[in-house]
Chains A and B, each alone.
Chain A
Amino acid sequence: DAGVIQSPRHEVTEMGQEVTLRCKPISGHNSLFWYRQTMMRGLELLIYFNNNVPIDDSGMPEDRFSAKMPNASFSTLKIQPSEPRDSAVYFCASSLAGRGEGEQFFGPGTRLTVL
C-alpha cells in the first residue's frame, strides 16, 4: 500500500513567492493533518481536516497560510507570500479515526527553503 504522498520533497523559493505543497493521504483515511517542523518549535499542528472539512485551523500562523481539501484524496497547503521564517519541513499525516487512538501516518515531508 502506498503511504502518504507529498510533493514536492524539496522546494526552494524566494521571499514573496507563492508556495503550494501537496498531499495525498492514505486511501480510506478520513482525517488529514498538516504539521510544521522546525528546530526552534518542534512539531506543530497547523490544521486538521475531518471528512474534507477543516475542523481546527488554530495552528495556522497567519493569513498568509491557507489549506484546502477539495476531495478525500488531495490536500494543499499554500503560503502566499512566503517569508524566510517559513523555512521548515512540512509534514502531511492521515488517520482513519481522527481521534486519539487513530494512529497518524506521516508522509516524507516537504523541506521548504525561502531565501
Chain B
Amino acid sequence: AQSVTQPDIHITVSEGASLELRCNYSYGATPYLFWYVQSPGQGLQLLLKYFSGDTLVQGIKGFEAEFKRSQSSFNLRKPSVHWSDAAEYFCAGSSGTYKYIFGTGTRLKVLA
C-alpha cells in the first residue's frame, strides 16, 4: 500500500543549529513528493516539491530536500534554523493523481 511516514513526531533544535526532518515513502513508482509547513492557526504552505530530475530540491525560506530512491526518503533540511521556523511540517506524496497522502507531521520547536 502507498504510504508516507514521518518517524519523528516532535523535534527540538536550538536557534542557529541545522535541521533535518525525515520522510519515508512507499510507492510502486517514483512519486511526486512535497513538503508543507503549517504555522499555528494557519493553513499549509508549500515549501518545495519534487517531480523528477535533480534530486536536491531548493525551496522557500532556505529549505532544501533530497530525494534518495535507494532509501525511499525525501528528507527536509535547513542549515541554520530561525525561531520563526517553529511550526508543524508535513511530507506528502502522490502517485500522479489528485490524491495526496500526507504524513502525520513533525512538530518543530526552536530554542532561543
Interface residues of B, dominant DSSP: loop
Residues A99 and B43 in contact, CB atoms below 8 Å apart: no
In the complex, A43 has a CB within 8 A of chain B: yes
A108 at the interface (CB under 8 A from B): yes
Q: Does A25 contact B (CB under 8 A)?
A: no
Residues of B within 8 A of A75 (CB): none
Interface positions of B (Cβ within 8 A of A): 31-32, 34, 36, 41-46, 49, 51, 90, 94-100, 102-105
Can you identify 20 A-B contacts, CB atoms within 8 angstroms? Answer: A42-B103, A43-B90, A45-B100, A48-B99, A91-B44, A99-B96, A99-B97, A99-B98, A100-B96, A100-B97, A100-B98, A100-B100, A102-B98, A103-B34, A103-B46, A104-B100, A106-B44, A106-B45, A107-B43, A109-B41
* New contact pairs (13) apart from A100-B98, A106-B44, A109-B41, CB-CB < 8 Å: A42-B105, A43-B102, A48-B98, A91-B44, A100-B31, A100-B95, A101-B94, A103-B34, A103-B46, A103-B49, A104-B100, A108-B42, A109-B42
